[in-house]
């Protein structure tokens, strides 16, 4: 079964939000979704994270859409 | 024929005449070849509709892309109030252009509309890239390049810039096919037989300790470290202002804001920084940036010397040539942050000269309110205080 790494989420935002901004965003989303931070997430968890990102609006929402599409194709 | 890239530049003059003359100079250099696309970067002092009419009087059926600028240049001249024109004729590239309004309302829809007539493929022109030009005052830089990535496909490389208006921060326009529009995006899709080359480099380094954005919405930062953003900028730049002999206590907020535009925000992205340009100071002390700034982001105030700016321009050009790996280059489009001119002042042409000498091909460029560069697979493509070079292979 495909797993999505935390690193993939991190790398997708570090160039636009910076290292700390990305860590803050991911920590907020995981807390909101009650998902524990781990090295790999299931596809279902990853898609939930993307869905929560979409509610943030702006470019975060667009990246979330791109990531969700990538995960589903994979 | 391969690809032929020729330029013209005109400073001053009435709008229609300036457009016509810039196009005429480039068309004369192009000789018998029919241009496939015209790229226009023009001072916002011109009446842009008249300028377009002047250009179209010389090249009536040629697709045009471009935008208003804070300065323009070609290999022949650097101008603060001119119009630069590049004409490109090619049998190795196909160009498709489109424009759409209402980017600030729905960025994805705007990109879809601008690109609705683009073909997905063009036979053996298998490499796809796009030049994206967007209104520089709507704060949607990062969104526009990501939307273009989502709409146009994952195999597209992007370059481009945010339109400018000679630092007036009032109205920036993008052009395509006879239209000059605000709150708009102009896209030129390139299908080519070999890949374009994109190189980027900024010349900034950190000046302050790490600071946390504690209150922001979209592209406006209200508080840093729980204090009004502008006060924090002032506090951390006190020593730098003393060093420069500037007494900011006796200056208006407007004047301070102008000076502080030389000190960008840097987001640490690992070993380097992504630079973010503060475009203006709001009356409440908040700072407006060229793209979204998220709460929780940690920034440093960045600075750059004149020498750093000239060296970074040269490095961008050298990196581009290295990537070309000996392939012949027809010409280069250069998207250079308007803050470089603010830092370099009358030495600005020195940075352009460095690029010109390294590339040794015709160039056209403008000073932007933000630069776009995104390679395939990347998910961030909006930059500030950076030089972006796109080389078009022969």
Beta-carbon contacts of B91 under 8 Å, excluding residues fewer than 6 positions away, are B1, B2, B3
Give the ipTM.
0.85
pLDDT of residue A66: 94
Tens of pLDDT, residue by residue over B145-159, are 999 999 999 899 999
- Of the pLDDT bands very low, low, confident and very high (cuts 50, 70, 90), residue B258 is confident
Mean per-residue pLDDT, B196-208: 95
Q: Which residue of B has its CA nearest to A65?
A: B150
Query: Going by C-beta distance under 8 Å and a sequence separation of 6 or more, which residues neighbour residue B235?
Result: none
More confident residue, A31 or B278: A31
Mean pLDDT over A23-31 rounds to 95
How high is the pLDDT of residue B254?
A: 77
Q: Do A59 and B267 touch (CB under 8 A)?
A: no
Q: Is the pLDDT of residue B212 over 90?
A: yes
Instruction: Pick B121 or B186 by higher pLDDT.
Output: B186
List, for residues A42-56, the tens digit of each pLDDT value. Answer: 999 999 999 999 998
* Residue that is written with structure tokens 């990196």 in the block: B319
Mean pLDDT, residues B316-344 taken together: 94
Average of per-residue pLDDT values in chain B: 93
Average pLDDT over residues B214-236: 92
pLDDT band at B340 (very low <50, low <70, confident <90, very high): confident
Q: Can you give the pLDDT at residue A3?
A: 92
Q: How far is B270 from chain A (nearest CA, A)?
A: 7
Contact A63 B379 (CB under 8 A): yes
Question: In which band, very low, low, confident or very high, does the pLDDT at B57 lie, cut at 50, 70 and 90?
Answer: very high
CB contact under 8 A, A58 and B143: yes
> Are B379 and A18 within 8 A, CB to CB?
no
Residue the block writes with tokens 């002042």: B345
Q: What confidence tier does B256 reach under pLDDT thresholds 50, 70, 90? A: confident
Instruction: Tell me how many residue pairs between chain A and chain B have CB atoms under 8 A apart.
Output: 72
**Interchain contact B323–A (C-beta under 8 A):** no
> pLDDT confidence of A1, banded at 50, 70, 90?
low
Residues B126-138 pLDDT 10s: 999 999 999 999 9
HEC secondary structure over chain B: CCEEEEEEEEECCCHHHHHHHHHHHHHHHHCCCCCCEEEEEEECCCCHHHHHHHHHHHCCCCCEEEEEECCEEECCCEECCEEEEEEEEECCEEEEEEEECCCCCCHHHHHHHHCCCCCCCCCCCCEEEEEEEECCCCCCHHHHHHHHHHHHCCCEEEEEEECCCCCCCCCCCEEECCEEECCCEEEEEEEECCCCEEEEEECCEECCCCEEEEEEECCEEEEECCEEHHHHHHHHHHHHHHHCCCCHHHCCHHHHHHHHCCCCEEEECCCCEEEECEEEECCCCCEEECCCCCCCCEEEEEECCHHHHHHHHHHHHHHHHHHHCCCCEEEEEEEEEHHHHHHHHHHHHHHHHHHHHHHCCCEEEEEECCEEEECCCCCCCEECCEEEEEEEEC
Residue A39 has what DSSP assignment? S
Record: contact B294-A28, CB cut-off 8 A: no
């Amino acid at each position: 079964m495909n797993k999505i790494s935390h690193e993939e989420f991190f790398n997708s935002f570090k160039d636009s939000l910076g290292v700390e901004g990305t860590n803050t965003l991911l920590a907020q989303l995981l807390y909101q979704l009650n998902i524990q931070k781990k090295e790999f997430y299931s596809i279902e968890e990853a898609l939930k994270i993307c869905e929560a990102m979409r509610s943030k609006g702006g470019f975060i929402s667009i990246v979330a859409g791109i990531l969700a599409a990538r995960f589903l194709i994979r | 024929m391969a690809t032929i890239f020729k330029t013209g530049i005109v400073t001053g003059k009435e709008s229609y005449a300036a457009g016509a003359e810039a196009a005429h100079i480039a068309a004369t250099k192009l000789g018998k070849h029919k241009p496939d696309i015209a790229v226009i970067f023009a001072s916002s002092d011109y009446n842009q509709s008249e300028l377009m009419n002047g250009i179209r009087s010389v090249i009536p059926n040629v697709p045009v892309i471009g935008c208003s600028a804070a300065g323009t240049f070609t290999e022949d001249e650097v101008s603060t109030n001119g119009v630069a024109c590049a004409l490109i004729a090619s049998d190795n590239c196909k160009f498709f252009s489109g424009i759409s309004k209402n980017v600030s309302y729905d960025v994805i829809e705007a990109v879809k509309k601008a690109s609705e007539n683009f073909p997905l493929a063009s036979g053996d022109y298998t490499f796809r890239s796009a030049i994206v030009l967007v209104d520089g005052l709507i704060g949607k830089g990062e969104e526009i390049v990501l939307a273009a990535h989502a709409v146009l496909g994952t195999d597209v490389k992007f370059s481009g810039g945010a339109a400018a208006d000679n630092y007036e921060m009032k109205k920036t326009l993008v052009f395509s096919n006879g239209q000059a529009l605000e709150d708009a995006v102009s896209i030129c899709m390139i299908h080519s037989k070999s890949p374009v080359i994109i190189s980027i480099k900024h010349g900034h380094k950190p000046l302050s300790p790490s600071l946390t954005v504690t209150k922001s919405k979209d592209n406006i930062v209200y508080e840093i470290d729980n204090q009004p953003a502008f006060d924090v900028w002032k506090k951390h730049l006190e020593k730098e202002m003393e060093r420069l002999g500037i007494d900011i206590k006796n200056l208006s907020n407007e004047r301070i804001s102008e000076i502080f535009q030389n000190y960008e925000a840097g987001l640490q992205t690992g070993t380097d920084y992504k630079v973010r340009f503060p475009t203006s100071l709001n009356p409440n002390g908040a700072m407006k940036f060229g793209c979204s700034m998220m709460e929780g982001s940690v920034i440093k105030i960045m600075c750059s010397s004149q020498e750093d700016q000239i060296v970074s321009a040269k490095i961008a050009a050298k990196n581009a040539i290295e990537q070309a790996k000996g392939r012949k280059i027809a010409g280069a489009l250069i998207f250079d942050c308007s803050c470089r001119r603010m830092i370099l002042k009358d030495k600005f042409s020195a940075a352009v000269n460095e690029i010109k000498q390294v590339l040794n091909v015709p160039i056209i460029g403008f000073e932007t309110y933000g630069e776009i560069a995104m390679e395939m697979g990347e998910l961030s493509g909006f930059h500030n205080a950076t030089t972006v070079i796109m080389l078009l292979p022969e």
